[in-house]
Structure formats: C-alpha cells, structure tokens
Amino acid sequence: MSSLPKKLLIISYDFPPSTGGIARLCHEIATHIQSNYESVEVLTLEKNKVSVPYNDNPEIKINYLPSKRILSEVKALQFLKKWKHKPETDVICGTWHPDAALSIFSGFKNVFALAHGTELLYGQSKFRKYLWLPFYAKWISGKSKKVIANSQYTKNLVLNINPKAEVIALPLGVNPEFFCPKPKSDLVNHKLKICTVSRILQFKGHDFILKALSELPESYRDQVEWHIAGSGPFLEELIELVNESSIKNQIQFHGFVKDEDLPAFYSNSDLFILATRETKESTQVEGFGLVFLEAQACGTPVIGTNTGGIPDAIEYKNGGWLIEQDNQYELSQLIKQLIDNSGILKVQSRLARERILQKCSWQVYVDNLKQIIQ
C-alpha cells in the first residue's frame, strides 16, 4: 500500500443483517481488513425499511440506500459521484452489477470486483450470451483494477469472457472460532450420520444422494441415516422421493437451520455430503461451496462433486473426498469403506479441522487479499 493512509469503500447490496455468501464475505472483509485503512465504509441497501445501522464494529460506517432498486442505483450514483477521496480510495464490490458498474461510472480507479461464478454463465439466456457477457461483463472486468475470483473455476470463467482481465483466484474462508467442533448429542447411535446443508434445488444433487443411499446393500443401508437442512423449490418433490425410498425412516428433514445452530448441526454428524451438478444449459453452479469449509471447521469430513469451484473447497483425503458428478458407484463404494472402517473418519475429522485453521480462515483470506490489493 502507499505511504499515505488509504480509505476503503465496500459496495455490496448484500450485507448483514442480510444472509448469504456475499453478505458474509463482505462483512468478513470489512471486519478483518479494517486495521490496514484509515477508514472503512460500506454502501448497502436499507434492510426492511430500518435505518438503524447494523454494525458489530462502530468504527465501520454503514451508508444505506433505499431498498427499491432503480431509486437505490440513482442514490448510489449520487453518493459515489460526491465522494471526495477517489485517488486514495480502494473499492471492493460485492457484485459486478450494479456495484462494480456504478463505481466505475463514478470515476473510481482502484476497483476490485469480486466474482462468484453464476453471474458469468449464460445458460439458455440469449441476452446473457450475446449482450451481458461479451459486452457489459467484459467491460466491467476490463475496467476493474483486479477481479478477485472465489475459485480457479470462476477465474477461468472470467478469462473466457475477457482474456486480458487482471484476475486472481482467492478461495473463500470461514470463521473457525464460530464454526468449531461441538459435543455430539447422541453417543449411543452407531449409525453413520450423514448431513447436507443447502438450498434444496435440483442441481444440488439431493436426489442423487438419495438414490446412492437407497441402493446400498441392505447390510450397509441399515447403518446410515441422513439429516437434511434447508428449504427450496425442490423440497416437495424430494420429500415424495424420500417417501418412496427404502430408507425413508432413516431420513430427517430439519428445515432452515439458523446460523447460530449450524456448528452443532455439522458437529453432530459423521459426514457431510453435497453432490452439486453442473450443466452447460444452466447458470446454476457451485462457484465455491462455503458449506464445505463450515463442515470441515466443525471437524466433519466432507464429500463433494468435482464440479464448479468445489475442488478449491475440498482437498482430497485431507478432510474430504471428491467424486465425479452423478457417479453412484464411486459414492457407494466410499460410504461402504467408511462404514467398514470408522477410523478413517476419525483421521479425516482431525485433518479437516487442521486444514481450516492453517489454510482456510477468514484471516488467511484477508491476509492474501491485502497482498492482491497492494
């Protein structure tokens, strides 16, 4: 950084008390990077028409915009145009539109745009394929000082749009003090307790996991139980599939689990599985997979598919395993191996926690972010 103290402005329409990955990411950046700047401010949307600042750090100033989108963008542009310290201000943008676009329009030069994955896919949308990506998104990536991608997969998506973009892959982090091992509530049950935490969408692969578990040999099938947390549009169909399966009595739906209850939910399981799919026809993809880090931080080994940015969230046999998309044989064999040898899970549980502490905390993420911004 320069010898003069700099200012940091984080522009993110998603910011606490909103939930979700972008809100959490921007909040963690603001919290951990504060000591490197003379001042840190956030520009975000007003939440539920409540203008009382959400702030667990009073030294970070939160500026609120009206919740209606068109009006919010007008007010944001006015706010940014009036900013008096553009040359010595770094701007971190939670999304490309409108966050990064507005900051570029307003004359900021030190713009760092975060990239997450889905915004860089077009699926079946001709608008996204022929206008959004080749023109608008390419312009934003070219005008940003650097694009910070959440995975190598997302970095490649950026380079596919604009090969000249300054883009760096920086995998996300997790708070290992909050997500940490908790005592198990059930020490008598000797079944393999599997959990899944995600929005219940078809591309998340719940139906694939169900099929793999249902078609295990009976001697193995009877030794598993599956705990599903989350809600979403595929929930009703998933419930019907479960009720028709051979293991319906071994599956429990928990609905939406609050953040404060997640560490105990992860810790009470032996294994976390999320088998996300990726198809060319869809814009739905796991750009990274923060839930994999959360589970590992709680000492719960993970299984994920080798799709999207998940390989950056899982290090093979160092707290987890990667399988190929929809490969039922591969998942079944792995589950049978873990049932036959519970010692593997104990070793991977320890490795999972150690990996998070050494490589995947938010402090590690922000330390690397500082080097990128310098």
Reported as a single tens digit per residue, the pLDDT across 165-220 is 999 999 999 999 999 999 887 666 779 999 999 999 999 999 999 999 999 999 99
C-alpha separations of 11 from 99, 173, 260, 300, 343 in Å: 6, 20, 26, 34, 46
Sort 188 into a burial class: Cβ within 10 Å, 0-12 / 13-18 / 19+: exposed
Structure tokens at 128: 């996204």
- What local confidence, expressed as pLDDT, does residue 143 receive? 97
pLDDT at 106 over 80: yes
* pLDDT of 50 above 60: no
Q: For residue 174, what pLDDT is reported?
A: 95
Which helix (H) or strand (E) covers residue 264, if one does?
A: helix 262-267
Q: Which of 34-48, 84-98, 312-326 has the lowest mean pLDDT?
A: 34-48
Cα–Cα distance, 372 to 235 (Å, whole number): 41
Q: Which of 127, 128, 164 is nearest to 144 (CA)?
A: 164
Q: For tokens 């700047």, name the residue.
A: 37
List domains and CATH numbers for the chain. 7-173+362-373 (3.40.50.2000), 192-359 (3.40.50.2000)
Q: Tell me: pLDDT of 3 over 60.
A: no
Kindly state the tokens that stand for 191. 């079944």
Q: Any idea of the CA torsion for 262, 264, 270, 273, to the nearest 10 degrees?
A: -10
205 within 8 A of 199, measured Cβ to Cβ: no
The pLDDT score that the predictor gives to residue 185 is 77
Q: For the whole model, what pTM was predicted?
A: 0.91
- pLDDT tens digits, residue range 245-293? 999 999 999 999 998 999 999 999 999 999 999 887 788 888 999 999 9
Mean pLDDT score across all residues of the chain: 92
Average pLDDT over residues 143-155: 97
Res 326: pLDDT: 94
Per-residue burial over 16-29, b = 16 or more CB atoms within 10 Å of its CB, e = otherwise:
bebeebbbbbbbbb
| Residue 187 pLDDT | 61
pLDDT at 4 over 70: no
